[in-house]
Amino acid sequence: MRGVLAAIACGTVLALLASPPSTSVARFAVRDSAEGGLILRASEGERRVRRPVPSPTMGVGAPFIIKVDDKNGGSSDFFMGYEEITPGRAIPRHYHPHVDEILFVHRGSGIATLGAREATVSEGATIYIPAHTSVSLRNPGPAPLAIVFLFAHPEMGLYFRDTSVPEGQRAEPFTNEELAAVRARHRDHITFEQP
């Protein structure tokens, strides 16, 4: 039953993302406490900026939005995020040891590598990543690659918050030592194949 509810919720959220973006940049959407849940415009959610890492493809602070997790919507079963990968940037090759992930391409196109397979992906594509399967996604350009990322557990928020700051705060670059410590702390959530 939990899997069926998860599939219905994913479909509903993806349908909301397909709506035209709002000019609103509210940090958090209002929710009805009597009924629970969230209705978010494209720009709404917990807006954050990744701290830069010592890497040529991810060397700048990249913005993203945490849409749903235990802190946003109170979900005990989901983590959903949204981000735009700018031309020339990538999500480096990594895997999640204990949780499956779904990437949904909302807009743009890029090159996905899943295990030993590589494919061009574009708007509407879905990438299902079983636990312990490596994945990378790069945007060769010329337009941003907008993606939705979904996990079956909100605990992924611990990693995403630990590697970012709220939008508007200065995103200090990681030193190699800091990055190694954060990655060691979250090795049960995510493992990168390159240091």
The confidence score (pLDDT) of residue 22 equals: 38
Question: How open is the CA angle 165-77-18, to the nearest 5 degrees?
Answer: 70
- The mean pLDDT values, 10 residues at a time, for the chain of 195 residues are 48 45 42 70 94 64 90 92 94 93 97 97 98 96 95 90 94 90 91 74
The confidence score (pLDDT) of residue 19 equals: 43
181: Cβ–Cβ under 8 A, 6 or more apart, which residues?
none
The confidence score (pLDDT) of residue 36 equals: 77
Amino acid at residue number 39 = I
Q: Which of 49, 52, 78 is nearest to 65 (CA)?
A: 49
How many whole angstroms separate alpha carbon 183 and alpha carbon 167?
A: 22
The confidence score (pLDDT) of residue 56 equals: 53
C-beta neighbour count of 99 within 10 angstroms: 18
DSSP string, 35-70: T------TT-SEEEEEPP-S-SSS-SPPEEEEEEBT
The confidence score (pLDDT) of residue 134 equals: 96
Structural domain total, the chain: 1
The confidence score (pLDDT) of residue 193 equals: 79
DSSP string, 93-131: EEE-SS--EEEEEEESEEEEEETTEEEEEETT-EEEE-T
How many whole angstroms separate alpha carbon 183 and alpha carbon 120?
A: 29
Q: Dihedral of CA 34/37/41/47: which sign?
A: positive
pTM above the 0.75 mark? yes
Q: Which of 114, 90, 110 is nearest to 102 (CA)?
A: 114
Residue range(s) defining the domain that contains residue 6: 2-192
Domain of 78, CATH number, reads: 2.60.120.10
Kindly state the greatest CA–CA separation across the chain.
47
